[in-house]
Structure 1
Amino acid sequence: MSKVCNTEVHLNCGVHDPEKWENYIQIQEKAEILTDPAEKEAFWNDQLVNIFKGPDDPNYAIVKVTPYRIEVNSMGSLEPEVWEG
């Protein structure tokens, strides 16, 4: 199985309207690019044919993200709730 480690991935999810802004989360993750043929075949979806030639297309890979820290921030609290794995 061929795996390449990538730099950290950060995702922020929230509401852009300050009047409706209550909670938002921030997720920190590690990303890996998976190029194993069996994994590519298992994740293949026929709707991808508009982008890739097939599961054996060299431009097709799977990005696996694994969270290691999640913060839930609330407007009423100065400290976020934190999960670390």
Structure 2
Amino acid sequence: MRDSSMKEKVLKVITEHRTGVLSSVENNKPHSRYMTFYNDNLTLYTPTKRDTEKIEEIEKNPSVSVLLGYEKQGQNDSYVEISGTSILNDSPKVKQQYWNKSFEQWFEGPEDPNYVFLEIKPETVRILNLNGEPPQELNLEN
């Protein structure tokens, strides 16, 4: 499969599935939790509170893994596995861009200093369970 076609398939899964699993490293072991993800050309953003343990984990070790997709019956659902690095992003532009009224249960508004994002830059992107095909890796150097 050409990389442009594969990238389209990856973006489709990422766009259709906002909820996924974020795994960071805590005491040299995986620590996973469900998060909401926003996509900007394969760079993922997920909102969080500044004072959470995941921020501390990422400051110690920025390596993360994200799984998105595989939400229906499971047997035929494609899903995406992203390995990359994460940083804290508290830019007012990003906070405003992805603000959602549902966040009001956790934050006072887009200007809330505790409202921040994890920005995840992919290093490896794989799509799995795509029409019975073997896992495929997207070449990110194009």
Normalized against structure 2, the TM-score is what?
0.40
Amino acid aligned to 2:122: P
**Secondary structure in 2 aligned to 1:61?**
strand
**Secondary structure in 2 aligned to 1:54?**
coil
Contact 1:68 1:84 in 2 (8 A): no
Structure 1: 5+ residue stretches without partners = 1-5
Structure 2: 5+ residue stretches without partners = 1-57
**Secondary structure in 1 aligned to 2:88?**
strand
Amino acid aligned to 1:58: P
Q: What is the aligned counterpart of 1:33 among 88, 93, 96?
A: 88
**Within 2, Cα distance between the matches of 1:38 and 1:22?**
34
Amino acid aligned to 1:56: E
Name the residue aligned to 1:56: 111
Instruction: Tell me the CA shift for residue 48 of structure 1.
Output: 0.8
CA RMSD, Structure 1 to Structure 2 (Å): 3.1
Greater per-residue helix proportion: 2
Contact 1:33 1:64 in 2 (8 A): yes
**Within 2, Cα distance between the matches of 1:55 and 1:22?**
34
Number of residue pairs matched? 78
Contact 1:69 1:82 in 2 (8 A): yes
Report the identity percentage: 22
Normalized against structure 1, the TM-score is what?
0.59
**Within 1, Cα distance between the matches of 2:78 and 2:97?**
36
Instruction: Tell me the CA shift for residue 33 of structure 1.
Output: 1.6
**Structure whose alpha-carbon radius of gyration is higher:** 1
**Secondary structure in 2 aligned to 1:49?**
helix
